[in-house]
Structures are given as C-alpha cells and as structure tokens.
Structure 1
C-alpha cells in the first residue's frame, strides 16, 4: 500500500507516521478551510505606462504574531510564519499598511468549477 493511500482506522486521517502519533489533520472526505491572520506591511506603486491609470499596486503581507494577544497565539500555531505578495488592479480594492487581515484558504471543487 502506498503511503498516500494509507488510511488510519482510528481517525480516518490520510497522513500519519505509523508509530501511534495521532495527528489532528482532517480526513480527505472533509476538506478543512484554513484561516490565517496577516498584516499588510507595504504598498508599492509601479508605473508601467504614461497614463495615471497605468500604475500597478502590489501589497506585501506577513503572518501576524503578537505574544500578548490570545487570538494571535492561536493563529501562530497554525501559520507561524509566512508571506504573501499580491498585485491588485481593481482600484476599489485597497489594503492599508499596518492593518491586519484574515486570509481564508478553502479548497476549490475542481469538478464543479467556480
């Protein structure tokens, strides 16, 4: 049996180390959405043409951790470090440097489309 096909008879988990370690992972049949907390650190504007509208905005985010905030302690257990850089072309979408945001990851149903 291949390791990726292994199913624990106790928890139904698809990933474990076969030494009795019970990982708190979610079984494949129930995909788990993940929420992380990130802070916007910088906004960068880059001109790519002569018109005012020809400016690309990019934002850099880092995972948040404040040892004095219980919420941040919980998020740090799930996403202790990380970074994200995105380019935003929609003028209605803005992020404020110094502000924190929740970043949600939910598996895409490839069969059903968006």
Structure 2
C-alpha cells in the first residue's frame, strides 16, 4: 500500500489516505497477523510439532508509505515496519530466530515432514 497508513487501534482498523486524499478503510493487519500467529501455534500443537517462537510482523513494502498511529499506541512500532528495516529489527527477534533454529535441530521435524 502506498500513501499514508493510519493504524487506528481504538477501532482496530487501518485507514489509507492516497495521493488524491481519498480515505479508505481496511481490516486491521495487526489483528490479522496475531490471528495467524495463534492459528500457526494451534497447528503446531495439534500435530505434536515443537513450540517454536512465532514473531508477528506487519511489513510495509512500499518505501515511501507514511505510517501513522495515535500517540497513546506507540506499541504499533513493535509490529509494523518498513521492509527495508527488517534486517535491522530488534535483537530480540534475532534471539528468537536462534531459538527457533535450535528448537528445530533438537526435534525429529525432518522425519515428521518427510512422512
């Protein structure tokens, strides 16, 4: 999406203002990514797979998109990032990915997936 994206946490919606100042509403992608995280964790449990860290992120791919949020919801910046910032995201994500790799190494995941 390009233009100005406004994450409205009060009403759980995303508003986009395009170049012609037209305002369009969308479902909240933060809710979507958190729902997908829950569904993936449920799937892993259901299939007796390791409980690996799942990092929910909303990645904005258009570099000139402006991201805005109400001042009382600064937590959005922990979930919503521009794609160019992904390699530099907080070290906690690097640690989570390291845990994920270790977790996968310590399981029969390859055997499970080959069946």
**Interval of TM-score (by shorter of Structure 1 and Structure 2):** under 0.3
Greater fraction strand: 1
Greater fraction helix: 2
Question: TM-score, normalization: structure 1?
Answer: 0.22
The higher radius of gyration belongs to 1
